[in-house]
Chain A
Amino acid sequence: MITAIKINDLTKNYKDVTAVDRLNLEIYEGELFSLLGINGAGKTTTIKMLATLVKPTSGDAKVFDYSILKDEERIKEIIDISMQETAIARKLTVEENIEFYGKLSGLDKLELNKTKKAIYETFGFDKIAKKQASKLSGGWQRKLSIALALISKPKILFLDEPTLGLDVIARKELWKTINELKGKMTIILTTHYMEEAEALSDRIGIMKDGKLLFVGTKDELFSKTSKTNVEDSFIEIVSGGELA
């Protein structure tokens, strides 16, 4: 297995709060790794540090051998991110959004057309291509937001709470899309929805108060906690058995 991300003692302090506390973790190429945790566990801060958006207080991480401290530009060339907010250009159409982000990512006309075609197929954008993004439903907007992150053909894709606030149908549709991406790139996903992590993940990491409490596959998680689903296992680990 090739290591895509290797995190060494990564720490982030905000004034008197330690958002991420000496995190050590290895994520492999091609896997879908879910980072779980309650609010304030440090998931988003971890993702932001790996995406070079936030500087760590101490420690380092290597993204395909590039250091997040020294090789910011190189890392940005091989990653993309879809934040929990729907990050799209609202007054542009779906097609214009894709073209805008494609051009910004440096794609030439031929590459852009090929990418557009592939994205339309994966996400089913054909019927809504000419619609203004602000007039789409929440589910379609989120799909567009994730689709934009794929345009640069990243080797690593960060998905921060991709289905937050979506209805159950939109969420299931998005799971299907994410499942189709599995294996094509390394995906690091943060979520509050345990069933999401259960349905999509190859491996799971559980964080609390900036610390990593567990890393492993679902089966390893179930065997550690003697539970049969991710939600119960998560509660067991995060509450230290008090709420189980």
Chain B
Amino acid sequence: MKKSLSRIIILTKRDFKEILRDPLSLIFTLGMPLFMEILFYLIFHKLTPQFEMKYLAPGIVVFAQSFIALFVGLLIAIDRSTSFLTRLYVSNAKSYEFIFSYALSMIPIIFVQSLLFFLVGGIIDSSIFSINMIFAILISLVTSLLFIAIGILLGSLCNEKSIGGISSIVIAGQSVLSGMWFPIEGLSEGMITFMNILPFRNATKLVQNTMNGINDVYKDFLIPLIIVIAYTIVSFILAIVAFKRKMKSN
């Protein structure tokens, strides 16, 4: 147990350094979403309530998390294609230790994302500062697990070349199906149902509602939370199965 924990820590440190030293990962997980937060607020906040900071900041937090799926997936795909994982496997490290380390290495980045986008949002519009912001940051750590699990799953299934394209579907899904960039009232009922059964809109709603106050605990909080957790658990199970299989077949 002690050995296993020590290996997880060693692997996590390495994964974190790999991600942090890739300038693209910092641009996409922090720089670009921050730029979008400021730009969309400045252009649109007087035109539509969608872009008021109380909705935009939590929406951007979850949107930025979708890039985590890309970068955790890319790291795993590269580790597999270069046989780096095979080498580590010979060193007696276990599949679950790898999976924990990939997931844990993302947590500091996710925390910085939430803190940065909420704080910058608060500096632009100080009315969003409240105790709820702390709860929203905490609940965003829960939504981030969904994207980490999707990233591990995609990294286990895709190769280095295809992971970018496949991950962009997740990013596009979060962007379009979260309903954060446009009012969804004009959409068909079928489309809204479709968005509600997928995790993307629920993840955004969960952080937005936590930030802005929950009127109906069941509808505003529990339902989106259960849907996000359900998708996260399923994604993690699939990720573990896919990762183990690939480790054996590689």
Contacts and interface: CB of A to CB of B under 8 A. Distances in A.
Interface of A: 51-55, 73, 76-77, 79-92, 96, 100-101, 103-106, 132, 148-149, 152
A76 B91 contact: yes
B17 A96 contact: yes
A90 B78 contact: yes
B125 interface: no
Given A76-B92, A77-B92, A91 B82 contact: no
Contact of B90 (A51, A86, A96): A51
A86 B6 CA distance: 25
Given A76-B90, A76-B91, A79-B90, A90 B7 contact: no
Given A90-B18, A91-B21, A92-B18, A105 B83 contact: no
A87 B21 CA distance: 18
Nearest to B250: A53
B130 to A, nearest CB: 39
A33 to B, nearest CB: 19
A88 B78 CA distance: 10
Given A85-B81, A92-B14, A132-B21, A104 B88 contact: yes
B121 to A, nearest CB: 31
Interface in B203-250: 248, 250
B93 interface: yes
A105 B21 CA distance: 24
B22 A91 contact: yes
A104 B93 contact: yes
Contacts of A152: 91
Q: Would you call the interface of chain A mostly helix, strand, loop, or mixed?
A: loop
A52 B250 CA distance: 12
Contacts of A83: 83, 86-87
A97 B128 CA distance: 44
Contacts of B93: 104
A55, A88, A89 interface centre (most CB from chain B within 10 Å): A89
A100 B90 contact: no
Contacts of B81: 85
B88 A80 contact: no
Contact of B82 (A53, A54, A87, A100): A87
Contacts of B169: none
Contact of A85 (B22, B83, B90): B83
A87 B17 contact: no
B124 interface: no
12 contacts: A55-B248, A76-B90, A81-B87, A85-B81, A85-B83, A88-B82, A89-B17, A89-B84, A90-B82, A92-B17, A104-B93, A132-B21
Contacts of B250: 53
Contacts of B86: 53, 81, 83, 87
Nearest to B20: A91
A73 B14 CA distance: 23
Contacts of A84: 83
B22 A104 contact: no
A82 B84 CA distance: 9
A129 B139 CA distance: 42
A53 B90 contact: yes
A51 B91 CA distance: 11
Contacts of B92: 73, 76-77
Contacts of A52: 90
B90 A81 contact: yes
B12 to A, nearest CB: 11
A86 B86 CA distance: 11
A73 B89 CA distance: 11
A232 B218 CA distance: 78
B10 A104 contact: yes
Contacts of B22: 91
A229 B98 CA distance: 46
Contacts of A77: 92
Nearest to B21: A91
Nearest to A79: B90
B72 interface: no
B82 A86 contact: yes
Given A90-B18, A92-B17, A92-B18, A100 B10 contact: yes
A89 B85 CA distance: 10
Contacts of B11: 104
Interface in B1-44: 3, 6-7, 10-11, 13-14, 17-18, 21-22
A152 B88 CA distance: 12
